[in-house]
Amino acid sequence: MTRLFKLLKTDAQLLTAIRQGDDSALGVLYNKNLRMIIKYIVTNSGSEEEAREYLQDALVIFWEKAREDEFELTSKITTFIFAIVKNRWMRELARRKKHTNLEIVEANPDGALNAEEEYQEKETASIVRECMKLLSPLCQKIMTFYYYDHKSMAEISELTGLANENVAKAKKYQCKKELEGLVKKALI
């Protein structure tokens, strides 16, 4: 394995080996990424066994993607694999959290509806906050001033340097539509 690792040290060489069906490249990638993935999963409430499992899954996904004709690697392979593991692990943690919250609700049926609603509201608020970060700085300001600070359109136009409150209102509408689209995509 060490000899192969020395021979296949660049991402381009590893990608070529994978495209040629050389499954020994998977072993190289496994060894190259294992410590980093274990550290990430264990640090984020997982076990070493789960880390190994998630790395194996990520390598299979990468293998399949890399063998597609239209696949173009736009980052380092380790970054690509880490992103797969991270995304899948975050979904697992969210699933566990939801499952735990549902167990709590089942144990306390009187507050079941409130706990579930509260959980959904927190999840939605978290998604909205993340999507807000994707808006332009002007849209972020307008949405924050309007929805969080409860400023009037006149105040918003003054604070943002927009011509008047009608311009601010039109811009807020555009920003709101853009945010709604982002949230809708995030919930899919």
Segment 39-88, tens digit of pLDDT: 999 998 899 999 999 999 999 999 999 999 888 888 899 989 999 999 89
Chain centre to alpha carbon of residue 85: 11
Q: How long a stretch of residues is the chain? A: 188
Distance of alpha carbon 83 from alpha carbon 69, whole angstroms: 21
Which tokens in the block code for residue 43?
Answer: 């640090």
Predicted TM-score of the model (pTM): 0.51
Distance of alpha carbon 137 from alpha carbon 18, whole angstroms: 42
User: What sections of 10-164 are H helices per DSSP?
Assistant: 11-19, 24-43, 48-66, 77-107, 112-132, 137-143, 153-160
Q: Is 184 left (phi over 0), alpha (psi -120 to 50) or beta?
A: alpha
Residue 33 predicted with pLDDT over 50: yes
| Domain spans, the chain | 1-93, 124-188
User: 3-class DSSP state for residue 183?
Assistant: helix
Q: What 8-state DSSP symbol labels residue 162?
A: -
Percent of the chain with pLDDT over 70: 83
Q: What 8-state DSSP symbol labels residue 135?
A: S
User: Cα–Cα–Cα angle for 97, 99, 101, nearest 5°?
Assistant: 70
Which has the minimum average pLDDT: 10-14, 85-89, 121-125, 170-174? 121-125
Distance of alpha carbon 116 from alpha carbon 99, whole angstroms: 11
Residue 4 pLDDT grade (very low, low, confident, very high; cuts 50, 70, 90): very low
Residue 115 pLDDT grade (very low, low, confident, very high; cuts 50, 70, 90): low
Q: Domain 1-93 has what CATH class?
A: mainly alpha
Fold of 124-188: Arc Repressor Mutant, subunit A (1.10.10)
Find out whether 112 and 106 touch, Cβ atoms under 8 Å: yes
